[in-house]
Chain A
């Protein structure tokens, strides 16, 4: 069991989360939502987690926060193991880790006022007398640029962007260190998104927060995250610094995703890798193909890809890929000569 290094606020090791959904002749059937993930987040950084639906990114977020119990593996937060459901965690863990959900409509109780919604974390995590709540709440609302009269409003009467700001305020109320943001702006428009993202960035600096930012929007990720991890069918394919991720994407899936982002400006167009046509549907996490889980859609498939699951390979400092194409750093493999031809084909 490794220990977390000093500058890592969160360390995820070999995390697996399987959901049991039934049985067939061969035995129990599982949805392998998260299938062996290693990830760490440094203090003060924004780690971006990118993937399509079924990739497991939301499952990781929910397991970190305590909605699910890991099937195996461990999660270390500030050195302490938190790999259990929220109800069994210590109060301080619950205070320190907060989450902002994707859908602002269902993450706030429509039958409460904003005052009541914000009062809950204050009541649980601080020892302030009730009289002081209001002052603090107004302060909090100010931080997210909402006027004090929002305290008496109810979620159904305010817009989506404002609701999400309330959700952010609620997350900040307990003074956390790590905030998980699960697609916080996916349901919102571009201009509202810009406002919220800017606010989040400001608040991160002001309150020394660490973010685990999940989204499927690559262009947003580029401007928000310090490091980006991309997931496919429960496993991480590539992790890199944001700039490297877009300038030198290595994994074929990464290239496929980046090439399908619709862009506006000429400079962006030049940056995109050549068009990788995505073939077929996304397979379900119940029937994960053997070998590399991506091989059925991969344009650079080799014979080894359908048999052996690749290992994570560190290509350069901080840039790791899970793909047989880069197995040159591994011990002797028969397909090494193939790889040389493949690599030149990508660029």
Chain B
């Protein structure tokens, strides 16, 4: 029984460090993210800000040995993922959470037919139930392909990925993700490498699936327009921290954080008006990140407190949180 009030995923103060020559890249610096059941959450930020790292931390698929999590917790249904045993993690990855990767071409194995790949997902995700008959796996994979509106699923099953177009491959990836019931989907920029009309189709498909099954979804994108149309709540991320979060209506009407404001101003509009100057400067070095607020070197507003204290997220109005030292109201 899905209840919109129940919290499904709760990331608290996540710090992730990556070991390199010269020290550690302190990629994530206190990420707070929360997803309720049946909710569509958007994660917006530029390349290199840590979105994919956060998502990979949820599934614990960061490369071992190089990554170090000094503090933070990721609660999934009340249980801390970072403390889960291997078997519990297996269960998480095969039954609870599914990830749809950015580039469908590299997400699919080029030497196996689609049917085998979807079949594998179904096989492993039902490993925690009693064994299914082989025919059922085939039927299930055809059913999954039908759900994503791939034409002629029986014939599509025996195709190799290279025989499909980019849009079709992305649909196959989505089919793999929904082939068994999941509670959380993570879609990492699902339409970026595709044409805009096909991207539109993929987004509408995702929307339909999420509505029909009441699955929660975390949608990573750097397109604010997509985030507006496809999400219930948006998190804006910069340099490993969440700087602002609100519903799309509130966020676009009343952005508070200077980064959000700069980002919104940089988006070109089809009604014309030229393009704003963008945000001066660039992402800080993660090796020696600025102390205090990480956006401070690029921020127009300056204040000594900004380089001392890293800002915390706090609520300035209902469901609208900002992490900025200068907006204490």
Measured CB to CB, the residues of A under 8 A from B are 52-53, 159-162, 188-195, 197-198, 216-220, 222-224, 242-243, 246, 256-258, 260-265, 267-268, 271-272, 278, 281-282
Q: Is the CB of B197 within 8 A of A257?
A: yes
Q: Other than A189-B47, A198-B277, give 10 A-B pairs with Cβ distance below 8 A.
A: A189-B222, A194-B268, A195-B278, A218-B270, A219-B267, A220-B275, A223-B275, A243-B272, A246-B272, A281-B167
Q: Is the CB of A194 within 8 A of B277?
A: yes
* Chain B residue nearest in CB terms to A223: B268
Q: What are the residues of chain B within 8 A of A242 when measuring CB–CB? A: 272
* Contact flags B42-62 to A (C-beta < 8 A → 1, else 0): 000011100000000000000
Could you tell me which residues of chain B, from 7 to 50, have a CB within 8 Å of some CB in chain A?
46-48
- With an 8 A cutoff between CB atoms, is B287 at the interface? no
Q: What are the residues of chain A within 8 A of B279 when measuring CB–CB? A: 191, 194-195
- With an 8 A cutoff between CB atoms, is B273 at the interface? yes
Most A-side CB within 10 Å, residue of B195, B273, B276: B195
Q: What are the residues of chain A within 8 A of B198 when measuring CB–CB? A: 52, 278, 281-282
A59 and B224 CA atoms in complex are apart in Å by 30
Q: What are the residues of chain B within 8 A of A243 when measuring CB–CB? A: 272
Query: Which of B223, B274, B282 has a CB less than 8 Å from the CB of A161?
Result: B282
Q: What are the residues of chain B within 8 A of A272 when measuring CB–CB? A: 270
Q: Is the CB of B197 within 8 A of A192?
A: no
**Given A159-B283, A190-B267, A216 and B196 contact (CB-CB distance below 8 Å):** yes
* Contact flags B125-147 to A (C-beta < 8 A → 1, else 0): 00000000000000000000000
Q: What are the residues of chain B within 8 A of A195 when measuring CB–CB? A: 277-280
- With an 8 A cutoff between CB atoms, is B262 at the interface? yes
Q: What are the residues of chain B within 8 A of A190 when measuring CB–CB? A: 46, 222-224, 263, 266-267
A195 and B277 CA atoms in complex are apart in Å by 6
SS class of chain A's interface: helix, strand, loop or mixed?
helix
Q: Is the CB of B269 within 8 A of A278?
A: no
A263 and B327 CA atoms in complex are apart in Å by 28
Q: Is the CB of B196 within 8 A of A218?
A: yes
Q: What are the residues of chain B within 8 A of A191 when measuring CB–CB? A: 46, 262-263, 266, 278-279
- With an 8 A cutoff between CB atoms, is B110 at the interface? no
20 residue pairs A–B, Cβ–Cβ below 8 Å: A52-B196, A160-B47, A191-B262, A194-B266, A194-B275, A194-B277, A216-B196, A219-B225, A222-B271, A223-B272, A224-B268, A260-B196, A261-B225, A262-B200, A262-B225, A262-B226, A264-B264, A268-B270, A271-B270, A271-B271
Q: Is the CB of B275 within 8 A of A197?
A: yes
Most B-side CB within 10 Å, residue of A159, A191, A243, A265: A191
Q: What are the residues of chain B within 8 A of A222 when measuring CB–CB? A: 268-272
Q: What are the residues of chain A within 8 A of B47 when measuring CB–CB? A: 160, 188-189
* Contact flags B167-184 to A (C-beta < 8 A → 1, else 0): 110000000000000000
Q: Is the CB of B275 within 8 A of A198?
A: yes
Q: What are the residues of chain B within 8 A of A246 when measuring CB–CB? A: 270-272
Q: What are the residues of chain A within 8 A of B166 when measuring CB–CB? A: 53
Q: What are the residues of chain B within 8 A of A160 when measuring CB–CB? A: 47
Measured CB to CB, the residues of B under 8 A from A are 46-48, 165-168, 195-201, 203, 222-226, 228-229, 252, 262-280, 282-283
Q: What are the residues of chain B within 8 A of A256 when measuring CB–CB? A: 197
Q: What are the residues of chain B within 8 A of A224 when measuring CB–CB? A: 268, 275
Q: Is the CB of B262 within 8 A of A219?
A: no
Chain A proximity of B281: nearest CB distance (Å): 10
Q: Is the CB of A263 within 8 A of B270?
A: yes
Chain A proximity of B35: nearest CB distance (Å): 22
Q: Is the CB of A262 within 8 A of B272?
A: no
A106 and B245 CA atoms in complex are apart in Å by 36
Q: What are the residues of chain B within 8 A of A197 when measuring CB–CB? A: 268, 275
**Given A195-B278, A278-B200, A282-B165, A265 and B269 contact (CB-CB distance below 8 Å):** yes
* Chain B residue nearest in CB terms to A270: B271
Chain A proximity of B128: nearest CB distance (Å): 37
Q: What are the residues of chain A within 8 A of B263 when measuring CB–CB? A: 190-191
A161 and B200 CA atoms in complex are apart in Å by 26
Chain A proximity of B219: nearest CB distance (Å): 12
Q: What are the residues of chain A within 8 A of B226 when measuring CB–CB? A: 262
A223 and B275 CA atoms in complex are apart in Å by 7
A147 and B273 CA atoms in complex are apart in Å by 30
Q: Is the CB of B196 within 8 A of A257?
A: yes
A220 and B225 CA atoms in complex are apart in Å by 13
Closest 8 CB pairs of A and B: A262-B225, A194-B278, A194-B266, A189-B46, A195-B278, A260-B200, A52-B195, A278-B197
Chain A proximity of B34: nearest CB distance (Å): 24
A243 and B266 CA atoms in complex are apart in Å by 20
A219 and B267 CA atoms in complex are apart in Å by 8
Q: Is the CB of B197 within 8 A of A52?
A: yes
* Chain A residue nearest in CB terms to B204: A277
A223 and B266 CA atoms in complex are apart in Å by 12
A242 and B279 CA atoms in complex are apart in Å by 26
A160 and B283 CA atoms in complex are apart in Å by 11
Q: Is the CB of B271 within 8 A of A265?
A: yes
Q: What are the residues of chain A within 8 A of B195 when measuring CB–CB? A: 52-53, 216, 282
A198 and B279 CA atoms in complex are apart in Å by 12
Q: What are the residues of chain A within 8 A of B225 when measuring CB–CB? A: 219, 261-264
Most A-side CB within 10 Å, residue of B168, B266, B271: B271
Chain A proximity of B268: nearest CB distance (Å): 4
